[in-house]
Amino acid sequence: MKKIFNFFTVLSLVAVTACSNDFLEQQSPDQLDSSTFWRNKADAEAGLSATYAFLEASIDEYSFSEIKWPVEAYREDICKLGSDALNYQSWVELADFTYTNGNTQFTSYWKYNYRGISNANQVITKVGEMSSSSISDADRNQVIAEARFLRAYYHLKLILNWEKIKIRNKYITDQAQISIPLSERAEAWDFIIGELKAVATVLPAAQPAEKAGRATSGAANSYLGFAYLTRAYEETAQKQTYLTESLAAFNKVQGYELVKDYVSLFNGTNKNSKESIFELQFTENTSNGAFYRTALHFWMAASELGGWDEILPTTMLMNEFKKEGKIATTGNYDTRLYSNIFFKDPYFNDAANPRIFGATYDQKFGTLDKPVFRKYLPPTQEQMDTEFLGLNVPLMRYSNVLLMKAEALNELQRPAEAIPFINAVRERADMPNMTGTTYDAVKTQIEHERIIEFPLENFRFYDLRRWGKTKAALDAVGRTNFDAAKNNFYPVPLTEIQNN
């Protein structure tokens, strides 16, 4: 992600001055600030780079893992805390739903998304003010479109996790602009959808290799469809309209295809694949002091594999993977089980073909029968033992678009049209076509496919809430502390209340 992250330090300074120098009477003449930084295309690209830098709180090699997954994944019924995670009270509170508005993890999540929004607003305003002699109209339009996409994306992350949020759509130049009320949910959705619709017609269908990971029309339409689909369940009076709009957006996502080797999408061997629509970029490149790596693999890995034992699959997830039996064309369970999880099975105990960093399951785990996550782990022991790696993180995949498209079609009472998209995802996993043709059969199948297609990609909680099943699902795995009225959304962080 060198192209995206290499100007972060510079723009951090500019971001600070954007909220302070405008209020100060004195200004050092030999320092860049928000009035002198924006001079040419290179500066516009630098500003955009700093805006990308806040994706998924990815600005720190440790906080990236320790904010995103505790906040998004620990509340899901398919994940549970590992042994080491129990030592962190703020994480435990998220998992057992005893958190208060002072929880440090979702407070950081809120803060980083709003810092991304602040940077986006500055780019949109300042690049928009640059003259045609400083930057071409085409370059200006694309930089602003990418900044608007990111502004919409950060707002989307917030509205998915908080019932009401503050819409920040202006570059702040005055103290009086800081304190604003929370917006109604419909207003927030209107803003997000409006931004994504606007940029979808401006962003390119594909970015050149040197700009890998940057927003495209495919990304804009994918998240636009996701926004409409989510909203369709929230505003039932307009459900048919929003479903139709979501389908229209998904239909515009073209030029992608499913990748047969599912594992390669997450282990660093197939970055920015044909299936990847929007992907968070990291790199092993350390030239000129660059550092765009994380300890994600240690956070995800079990202690028996040299990791920290922070997150584990639940029995419910294992049962869901196995529920159809060994009916794959390989003679095994659904291939996604083996791609997502190391577990006690002949496949991982084949001494002639040891598949866990050159060892069998029993060699790694002894007599334990402990399923552990494989996703986001590198392919070799040498890499696993490396302190930091540059593994990319897919944020939106084509398989997600196919299954959301199937869901929209089914909810529009068109199950026959939905089935081929479900079967395409199943075929990649070596599974036969689904059985059944009715609305109920398709709905059940979609729910099953989404559970096992996206572990650790953190869509499960949003799916459950969309379907009205959060309480039932969490009760079923013994997490009876969950109260939908209190826990379907996080409370506004205490620091935000104190500051406003």
pLDDT grade for 15, boundaries at 50, 70 and 90: very low
Could you tell me the residue range of the domain that residue 356 belongs to? 296-391
**Are 165 and 41 members of one domain?**
yes
What residue spans of 181-216 are helical by DSSP H? 185-200
Residue 23 has pLDDT above 80, yes or no: no
Judge whether 147 and 202 are in contact, CB under 8 Å.
no
Mean local confidence (pLDDT), 63-81:
96
What is the C-alpha separation between 362 and 366, in angstroms, rounded?
A: 5
What is the C-alpha separation between 422 and 274, in angstroms, rounded?
A: 19
What is the C-alpha separation between 137 and 142, in angstroms, rounded?
A: 9
Judge whether 474 and 77 are in contact, CB under 8 Å.
yes
Judge whether 94 and 490 are in contact, CB under 8 Å.
no
Give me the residue label for tokens 């950060």.
Answer: 154
Judge whether 418 and 442 are in contact, CB under 8 Å.
yes
Mean local confidence (pLDDT), 231-256:
98
Convert the pLDDT of each residue in 298-347 to its tens digit.
Answer: 999 999 999 999 999 999 999 999 999 999 999 999 999 999 999 999 99
Residue 140 placed within a domain:
yes
Convert the pLDDT of each residue in 130-167 to its tens digit.
Answer: 999 999 999 999 999 999 999 999 999 999 999 999 99
**Are 147 and 6 members of one domain?**
yes
Instruction: Find the range with the poorest average confidence among 171-185, 260-274, 325-339, 447-461.
Output: 171-185
Q: What is the mean pLDDT of the chain?
A: 92
**Residue 102: what residue type?**
G
Last residue of a domain, one of 338, 368, 391: 391
**Residue 49: what residue type?**
S
Judge whether 156 and 223 are in contact, CB under 8 Å.
yes
CATH number at residue 60: 1.25.40.890
**Are 51 and 192 members of one domain?**
yes
Give me the residue label for tokens 């992350």.
Answer: 157
Task: Return the structure tokens found at 340.
Answer: 């997502």
- Closest by alpha carbon to 1, among 238, 280, 272, 333? 280
Residue 1 placed within a domain:
yes
Residue 15 placed within a domain:
yes
**Tell me, what's the pLDDT at 33?**
64
Residue 18 has pLDDT above 80, yes or no: no
Residue 327 placed within a domain:
yes
Helices first, then strands: H and E counts in the chain = 22, 6
Residue 251 placed within a domain:
no
Report the domain count for the chain.
2
**Are 192 and 303 members of one domain?**
no
Give the pTM. 0.93
For the chain, the maximum distance between any two Cα atoms, rounded to a whole number of angstroms, is: 74
Residue 450 has pLDDT above 70, yes or no: yes
**Are 10 and 132 members of one domain?**
yes
What is the C-alpha separation between 438 and 440, in angstroms, rounded?
A: 5
Q: Which letter does DSSP use for residue 359 in this model? A: B
**Are 154 and 300 members of one domain?**
no
**Tell me, what's the pLDDT at 291?**
78
How much helix, strand and coil, in percent to the nearest 5, is found in the chain?
A: 55, 5, 40
What is the C-alpha separation between 383 and 389, in angstroms, rounded?
A: 8
What is the C-alpha separation between 353 and 350, in angstroms, rounded?
A: 5
**Are 198 and 303 members of one domain?**
no
**Tell me, what's the pLDDT at 16?**
34
**Tell me, what's the pLDDT at 31?**
53
**Are 191 and 304 members of one domain?**
no
Residue 377 placed within a domain:
yes
Percent of the chain with pLDDT over 90: 87
What is the C-alpha separation between 36 and 126, in angstroms, rounded?
A: 10
**Are 189 and 336 members of one domain?**
no
**Are 10 and 139 members of one domain?**
yes
